[in-house]
């Protein structure tokens, strides 16, 4: 069945193009519904229309392809089979398992309800029952594991070898290409690159890159430091002081500012850096960069991220630095 409500417009193709444009900007189905329908129908009804439309077209076609979608009675070209999309480093998964796997890869840790909400934001509809079943199968195969009551995450070593990106600004857009505040989660770096290439963006004003650390021991260590007041570690070059700085930020710390507690403060700072060092080492090990010099000779592992030479991605020597 086609989306009959599109026929209410003089140019249905233009509406579809606009919806796809908003989707590529990272807007969810609910926000798109607000912009497209306004107050003409209820927000819930409008959101369902947008979700069904995005689900039908997959929300992954270029504007050139969108005119050929089956919403106007024509069938899009068949996508490559799943076996061709999955690389040798990824597990073989069924359709629902693949959706859950991709969702956990972005959300890092989530409940079935959170996964359902994330999929609906992407224009996909899955029942909680099917999500629970897929999680059970992934857990039985050792691909996912239960981190705490009701929460699931991918098992160590099964994350994509790709960066996550958020708060991306390019000069060609007056609004962020990706905003974590609007979407509620980060995006795969490869997805952000694809969006930038579609816009022919030439200048990146800002981008935040990161990778999760699924190690349960490190996560428990970080939670213990958080209870002592730790919130953030920053490594940056201060041009005013002409110095490379490693700052640890503490909010409502457990220790008072007294001379008698100097040793506790020093211990807390050192322990924070040790935890951060092991977290960084965990990420570098996943990327195959531990113990290698990436300055001058180039680092081959960076090709996993789809970028250029190693020297442009990381500077200095990553081996033998930090606490063991």
- Tell me the CATH number at 123: 1.10.10.10
Is the residue at 322 inside a domain? no
Is the residue at 200 inside a domain? yes
One domain for residues 184 and 226:
no
pLDDT tens for each residue of 150-172: 888 877 544 445 678 889 999 88
Is the residue at 279 inside a domain? yes
Indicate the DSSP class of residue 261: G
Q: Per-residue confidence at 262, pLDDT binned at 50, 70, 90?
A: very high
| Rounded mean pLDDT, 192-202 | 86
Indicate the DSSP class of residue 303: G
One domain for residues 68 and 91:
no
One domain for residues 20 and 60:
yes
Asked whether residue 67 carries a pLDDT value surpassing 50, the answer given is no
Is the residue at 254 inside a domain? yes
One domain for residues 46 and 64:
yes
Is the residue at 129 inside a domain? yes
| Rounded mean pLDDT, 163-183 | 85
Q: Per-residue confidence at 232, pLDDT binned at 50, 70, 90?
A: very high
Lowest-pLDDT range, 240-254, 270-284, 295-309? 295-309
For the CA atoms of 107, 108, 112, 115, the dihedral, rounded to the nearest 10 degrees, stands at: 20
One domain for residues 185 and 220:
no
Asked whether residue 277 carries a pLDDT value surpassing 90, the answer given is yes
Domain of 41? 4-72
CA 43 to chain centre: 27
Average pLDDT across the chain, whole number: 74
C-alpha angle 93/111/280, rounded to 5°? 80
One domain for residues 242 and 265:
yes
| Rounded mean pLDDT, 9-29 | 73
Which of 6, 102, 92 shows the shortest CA–CA distance to 60? 102
Is the residue at 248 inside a domain? yes
One domain for residues 180 and 203:
yes
- Report how far residue 49's alpha carbon sits from residue 40's, in angstroms, rounded to the nearest whole number: 13
Q: Per-residue confidence at 130, pLDDT binned at 50, 70, 90?
A: very high
Q: What is the CA radius of gyration of the chain?
A: 23
- Provide the pLDDT for residue 135: 92
One domain for residues 205 and 222:
no
Looking at beta carbons, which pairs linking 248-255 to residues 24 or more positions away fall under 8 Å? Answer: 248/272, 248/273, 253/228, 253/229, 254/227, 254/228, 254/229, 255/228, 255/229
Q: Are strands 109-110 and 151-154 parallel, antiparallel or unpaired?
A: antiparallel
One domain for residues 206 and 250:
no
One domain for residues 180 and 196:
yes
One domain for residues 46 and 98:
no
Is the residue at 186 inside a domain? yes
Is the residue at 265 inside a domain? yes
If one counts the domains in the chain, the total is 4
136 phi, psi to nearest 5 deg: -65, -40
One domain for residues 240 and 260:
yes
């Amino acid at each position: 069945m086609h989306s009959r409500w599109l026929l209410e417009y003089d140019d249905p193709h233009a509406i579809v193009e606009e919806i796809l444009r908003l989707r590529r900007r990272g807007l969810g189905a609910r926000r798109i519904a607000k912009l497209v329908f306004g107050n003409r129908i209820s927000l819930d009804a409008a959101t369902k229309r947008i979700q069904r439309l995005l689900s039908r077209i997959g929300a992954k076609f270029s504007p050139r392809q969108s005119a050929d979608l089956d919403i106007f009675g024509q069938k899009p070209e068949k996508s490559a089979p799943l076996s061709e999309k999955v690389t040798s480093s990824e597990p073989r998964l069924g359709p629902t398992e693949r959706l859950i796997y991709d969702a956990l890869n972005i959300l890092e840790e989530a409940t079935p309800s959170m996964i359902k909400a994330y999929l609906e934001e992407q224009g996909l509809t899955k029942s909680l029952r099917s999500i629970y079943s897929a999680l059970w199968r992934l857990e039985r195969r050792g691909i996912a594991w239960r981190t705490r009551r009701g929460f699931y995450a991918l098992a160590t070593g099964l994350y994509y070898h790709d960066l996550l990106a958020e708060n991306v600004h390019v000069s060609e857009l007056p609004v962020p290409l990706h905003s974590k505040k609007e979407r509620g989660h980060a995006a795969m770096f490869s997805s952000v690159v694809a969006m930038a290439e579609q816009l022919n963006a030439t200048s990146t004003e800002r981008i935040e890159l990161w990778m999760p650390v699924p190690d349960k021991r490190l996560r428990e260590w970080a939670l213990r430091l958080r209870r002592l007041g730790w919130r953030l570690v920053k490594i940056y070059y201060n041009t005013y002081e002409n110095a490379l700085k490693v700052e640890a930020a503490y909010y409502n710390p457990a220790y008072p500012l007294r001379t008698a507690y100097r040793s506790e403060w020093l211990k807390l700072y050192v322990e924070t850096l040790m935890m951060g060092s092991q977290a960084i080492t965990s990420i570098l090990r996943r990327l195959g960069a531990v113990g290698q010099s990436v300055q001058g000779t180039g680092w081959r592992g960076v090709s996993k991220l789809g970028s250029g030479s190693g020297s442009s991605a990381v500077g200095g020597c990553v081996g033998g630095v930090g606490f063991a």
